[in-house]
Structure 1
């Protein structure tokens, strides 16, 4: 059993972090960032064309991390592959030793660096979870037997506690639960009152863990860029003002992230850390938040 799955089942406070695959053939920077996280997080998410920006395959990048003893969570987006390719890749990552996957619908291509690419969306997040559950039962999407063995994938899903549609959030969350989601990682959280409401009103129906998304803001300009370009995210003006007034905005961003980890610790089951290209600062954020080093190193599956 993977270290992450053990931690979920053991009720530990869960810590995951996110790295981006390289935009090119050299994984050195990704590896250097991921190695900083090895004894601080239960698993490392590898993004799959996040914001529809072309990067190295999440599957290849996840295998590279696994070879270095870093347990990955391999993200799967439905934007670029049909149901045949998604199932083939899911069986493939299992054969390569990867057990943790995150099922995502995927960002629209118009948001990324290939806006004229064709979208697939043969499945979406909920149906991808259903497909994973079927593979785990030893059948394909069409309920035909897998003649060479079932998978054993530990599947999670995304959730946005700050969604403007409360009924839509609840309906989508319940569908993902029913489809087999074993854990949830949230989008960037800034409104912790809203997170508290989500945990009390919606997430209380399940024992599946919720990990709050914590994002390292590097400057006021960075926060304003996110507000303009990331749908559904609205970083409060008081945080932007705090970053703008800081003598060292990056250090202030680290302090803000640590405060948010402490807030999340009192509300949910874990945190999902995002610090684009500065993943090396995540251990410092966790230290400031009072999160200790893991007692057991992240295990190879």
Structure 2
């Protein structure tokens, strides 16, 4: 199957990259999922399809990504090592190649204890760095045991990064290991400290020549922001933003404006943005318009 490589091509051209996240359905009905993804078709270079994010069971990201390919929407298929051993992961990666899915985001995966199946047994045969190495091997035509494939894959592998990690040494080491293991692009966790992001780009990411996309989250209300501060380790929504949301006549509209401001800030610092607007994906085009980001070609 012929694969779209819009994201990889845009990265090679050093364009400002735009991606956005859409969760597969918790059930077999795909209508709402496809509707949200279709709204993003000409506004982003690729749509991330999450892999049971926060360990909450949802449709297979491989199946959901294939559905997007059928509709001319380029996906980034997330694969979490939490749920599969190296045999299953490689089988899914070969399946992605056959289905025309070009982009893979290699993730370790959230702990099962935080999800809706806490009794599940985590696999964790690999983690994200070793999965990147496995993808590199498949792209060279060999599985992780050294056996030759019938033909090599051509997967464009990415990884997650947290520029706001408090351990400079840990952040530097993790980023370097992922680059050395084959990460071709990076999507960051939710960013609220843009001074820290600028430091990360200058001190760590710059020499790698790998595009880094800042994670921008649409806050719907002050309550939403306070929930994030309580429940997402390493993320702190500034009090000034919480006050703006609390004092707004229309908190969602204010959150949209804040997200657009953050996109504009990121545009001056890094190589792209990754937009997360959980259950409000229809507002992503408006965020991009407010930030002065034109539709992608």
- Bigger RCO of structures 1 and 2 (CA < 8 A, at least 6 apart): 1
2:240 aligns with: 238
2:191 aligns with: 189
> What secondary structure sits across from 1:202 in the alignment?
helix
TM-score (norm 2): 0.98
Alignment of structure 1 residues 93-104 onto 2, 5 Å? 93-104=96-107
Whether 1:69 and 2:69 are equivalent positions in the alignment is: no
Distance 2:231 2:69 in 1: 32
Report deviation, 1:231. Answer: 2.4
TM-superposition CA deviations, 1:206-240 (whole Å, max 9, x none): 11100000000000111111122222211111111
Whether 1:78 and 2:78 are equivalent positions in the alignment is: no
Distance 1:140 1:25 in 2: 32
Distance 2:81 2:227 in 1: 26
Distance 1:151 1:47 in 2: 22
Distance 1:272 1:129 in 2: 20
TM-superposition CA deviations, 1:51-72 (whole Å, max 9, x none): 0000000001101111111000
Count of aligned positions:
294
1:293 aligns with: 295
Task: Choose the corresponding residue for 1:277, options 276, 279, 290.
Answer: 279
Whether 1:10 and 2:13 are equivalent positions in the alignment is: yes
**Which ranges of 4 or more aligned residues in structure 1 deviate by more than 6 Å?**
none
1:251 aligns with: 253
Distance 1:89 1:65 in 2: 16
Whether 1:173 and 2:147 are equivalent positions in the alignment is: no
> What secondary structure sits across from 1:186 in the alignment?
strand
1:58 aligns with: 61
Distance 1:202 1:117 in 2: 37
Quote the RMSD (CA, aligned, Å).
Answer: 0.8
Structure 2 unmatched ranges of 5 or more:
none
TM-superposition CA deviations, 1:81-105 (whole Å, max 9, x none): 0011000100011111101000000
Whether 1:24 and 2:27 are equivalent positions in the alignment is: yes
> What secondary structure sits across from 2:82 in the alignment?
coil
> What secondary structure sits across from 1:79 in the alignment?
helix
1:299 aligns with: none
2:153 aligns with: 151
Task: Choose the corresponding residue for 1:133, options 109, 118, 136.
Answer: 136
Distance 2:6 2:35 in 1: 21
Report deviation, 1:37. Answer: 0.5
> What secondary structure sits across from 1:94 in the alignment?
helix
Structure 1 unmatched ranges of 5 or more:
297-301
1:216 aligns with: 218
Distance 1:70 1:277 in 2: 19
Report deviation, 1:278. Answer: 0.8
Distance 1:172 1:115 in 2: 28
